[in-house]
């Protein structure tokens, strides 16, 4: 007859052996596995030359006098003067606008609007701190 008080012993030795063999196989094959990612690198152009375009500095003083590369223009005539002046410039020329902090926001935006309407796309507002 079967004795119910007796507990069966679990023999886990074969399980440990199998796991150690699998671990050894994994440790040997893992460093030799390689993953290849296909990269598409950009191709450079040898024929294209980089042209050095001068930037244009526009600064507006507190008394609304506008200077473009150290030549001064009155605020009221700036639209006409800038359109005449900008005909000699390339439209890719970067323009940096600096303004006194005491000016009205609308006055600075007027200068920005005039430069954009003249066909310039690279217009930046520059702050000093």
Residue 129, pLDDT above cutoff 60? no
Closest CA to 66 of 77, 54, 55, 51: 77
Assign a CATH topology to domain 56-126.
Nucleotidyltransferase; domain 5 (3.30.420)
Asked whether the whole model's pTM tops 0.75, one would answer no
- Give the confidence band of 102 by pLDDT, cuts at 50, 70, 90: confident
Mutual angle of helices 105-117 and 78-85, in 10-degree steps = 30
Task: Tell me the pLDDT tens digit for each residue of 28-62.
Answer: 887 776 777 777 887 776 666 666 678 888 899 88
């Amino acid at each position: 007859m079967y004795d119910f008080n007796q507990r069966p012993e679990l023999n886990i030795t074969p399980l440990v052996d199998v796991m150690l063999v699998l671990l050894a196989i994994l440790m040997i094959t893992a460093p030799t596995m390689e993953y290849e990612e296909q990269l598409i690198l950009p191709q450079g152009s040898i024929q294209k030359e980089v042209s050095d375009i001068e930037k244009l500095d526009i600064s507006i003083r507190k008394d609304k006098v506008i200077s473009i590369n150290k030549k001064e223009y009155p605020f009221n005539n700036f639209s006409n003067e800038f359109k005449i002046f900008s005909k000699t410039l390339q439209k890719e020329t970067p323009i940096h606008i600096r303004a006194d902090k005491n000016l009205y926001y609308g006055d600075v935006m007027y200068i920005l609007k005039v430069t954009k309407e003249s066909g310039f796309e690279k217009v930046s507002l520059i702050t000093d701190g």
